[in-house]
Amino acid sequence: DAGVIQSPRHEVTEMGQEVTLRCKPISGHDYLFWYRQTMMRGLELLIYFNNNVPIDDSGMPEDRFSAKMPNASFSTLKIQPSEPRDSAVYFCASSPGLGKTQYFGPGTRLLVL
């Protein structure tokens, strides 16, 4: 298995633009997680899905952030409009179950100018 796949790996955009991050989880994993990593706040869970259904989005910072999982093999995290404080590394992770190992993707490094 190729592991969790994320795209793009790097994204540079200007404030106010829409940003879409993509994730393909490991096949057969029922759980998908979106995290944000910054120096100040560390790794923060934004939202997670179970069987394509959003279960907990309490970590989503504000309405500018939205996430979808239209099928078991694809998820998106969208920021609209983007702001400089959204600059961070965004990770997607998948897991075969809660309380089991989470497998992280390589991350998307986002810079909002």
Q: Where does this chain bind another protein (CB under 8 A)?
A: 4, 42-43, 45, 48, 56, 91, 93, 98-99, 101-107
Backbone angles phi, psi at 105, to 5 degrees: -80, 180
The CB-of-18 to another protein minimum distance in angstroms stands at: 24
Find out whether 45 and 35 touch, Cβ atoms under 8 Å. Answer: yes
Minimum distance from CB of 106 to another protein (Å)? 5
Task: Considering the complex, state which of residue 19 and residue 107 has its C-beta at the smaller distance from another protein.
Answer: 107
Shortest spacing between CB 113 and another protein, in angstroms: 21
Q: 110, 8 in Cβ contact below 8 A?
A: no
Specify the residue, 82 or 102, whose C-beta has the smaller distance to another protein. 102
Vertex 108 angle, CA 5 and 103, to 5°: 45
98/113 with CB nearer another protein: 98
**Residue number with CB closer to another protein (48 or 65):** 48
Least Å from the CB of residue 83 to another protein: 23
29/87 Cα distance (integer angstroms):
28
Residue pair 21/107 in contact by the 8 Å Cβ criterion: no
